[in-house]
Amino acid sequence: MTTFFIREVRMQSGEHIPLLVSGSPLGLPVPLATRFVLTQFRPKGLKASSIRQRLSALALAYTFFAKHGIQLDERAAKRQFLSLEELVALSDYCRRTQKIGTQRVVGPGYAALRFRVATDYIRWVSEPIISRIVDDSRRDAAMGALQSFLQRARTVAPAPGRRDASVVPGERLGFTPEQRALFLRVIEPGCCDNPFRPQLQFRNYVMLQLEFELGPRGGEVLGLKTRDVDFSVEPASLTIHRRHDDPEEPRTSAPATKTFGRLLLLDAKLRDLLDEWITRHRANRQQFPAAAKHPYLFVNYRGEPLGSRGFRKVVEKLRRHYPILAGLCHHLLRHDWNDRWVELNEEEGSDPEISLRDQKYAMGWSPTSTMPLRYARRAIRNAANKKLLRMQQKGWKK
């Protein structure tokens, strides 16, 4: 049976396009799958990571069709498509992991995406075949059969599940006060408990302080360029840009900014840290020899733009050295930022609507976003319970 892989190609414009290839990771692209990507995914402006996810679902569908001897073009010509039994089998197949020797299932959202990609592909393959039928009545009947098939498919599709804004199993929270104090202490350069190599301690400190103080996403941190920091104004500022398909991007797996671009002001401490990093450390050609070849702010030990793997290793090392930080990841710092924002709002008695508006801007969320409820869960829970205790202690008169 043919094995499928996802291979990413980079266009001259800087755009990264994932393609489904067969046989080996360096195999030739699957022609129909390539057309499917270029006509169905690319025009929607999906990120490369989102296209990869859908191509993985398409590879799963190809495997299912091969195992069951399903030839989509023949089925479309006969107006048969998939039977109800085959649709049920496809729905079950979309729930399975593809790891050998395991019976685990994937999350409901991903299973639903897989099934939707498979049925969308069947529709996409079938419609041109049906459109070539000369007889009007036969063509209309075939199109009606296709619509009936798609309606039948929806009845057996994996349910995507519902998100509850208040209760999420395994929810991610910001730091506890003890975790926060430990984190801020051990990342200090020169600290005896700092687990990083001396030559990378300052880089990691600046990077983690930037995440802690401003709450950007990981992709936003990796996409920062030195010119995004403006020291010519007072206070200094940092601008987060959306730079999809950037011609300057040399990394195969390019980081992306999912949220809106925004300008964020820096206090004196963070400004000085960034200034020292750019002018003294990053500019040191003995320490980071390749840093002069590109504009990206954070670099690896060779001076090349820091990649996602190296970025994750920073928090992985902290987790290994300090079990109390077992849940630490870069995105937890974004949650912690939102916790502290809500706590500050409570302390200052700020207008809730204005504070919420400003919080959405600082995070790059749309004005209608419900993300603040999800990201500041610990602070919201603590504030609600404090008020709940005050209500119980008030001694209401009957």
The CATH number for 257's domain is 1.10.443.10
User: How many CB atoms are located within 10 Å of the residue 382 CB?
Assistant: 15
Contacts of residue 95, Cβ cutoff 8 Å, sequence gap at least 6: 105, 106, 111, 158
Interhelix angle 308-321/177-186, nearest 10 degrees: 110
Predicted confidence pLDDT, tens digits, the chain (398 residues) = 688 999 888 777 777 788 999 888 888 899 999 999 899 988 887 777 888 999 999 999 999 999 999 999 999 988 889 999 999 999 999 998 866 455 567 888 899 999 999 999 999 999 999 999 899 999 999 999 999 999 999 999 998 865 544 445 455 678 999 999 999 999 999 999 999 999 999 999 999 999 999 999 999 999 999 999 999 999 999 999 988 778 888 887 778 777 899 999 999 999 999 999 999 999 999 999 999 999 999 999 999 999 999 999 999 999 999 999 988 999 999 999 999 998 998 889 889 899 999 999 999 999 998 888 888 777 878 888 888 888 888 776 55
Instruction: Verify that 227 and 363 share a domain, yes or no.
Output: yes
Residue appearing with tokens 């103080």: 213
Q: Letter for the amino acid at 188?
A: E
Is residue 248, in this structure, part of any structural domain at all?
yes
**How many domains, in total, are found in the chain?**
2
- DSSP output for 119-167: HHHHHHHHHHHHHT--SHHHHHHHHHHHHHHHHHHHHHSPP-----SS-
Residues 129 and 192 in one domain: no
Q: Which domain holds residue 137?
A: 68-156
End-of-domain residue from the set 125, 156, 187: 156
| Domain match, 119 and 210 both | no
DSSP one-letter code for 42 = G
- Distance, in Å, from the CA atom of 133 to the CA atom of 41, rounded to the nearest integer, reads 27
Considering the domain architecture, whether residues 143 and 118 belong to the same structural domain is answered as yes
229 by Cβ neighbours in 10 Å (0-12 / 13-18 / 19+) ranks as buried
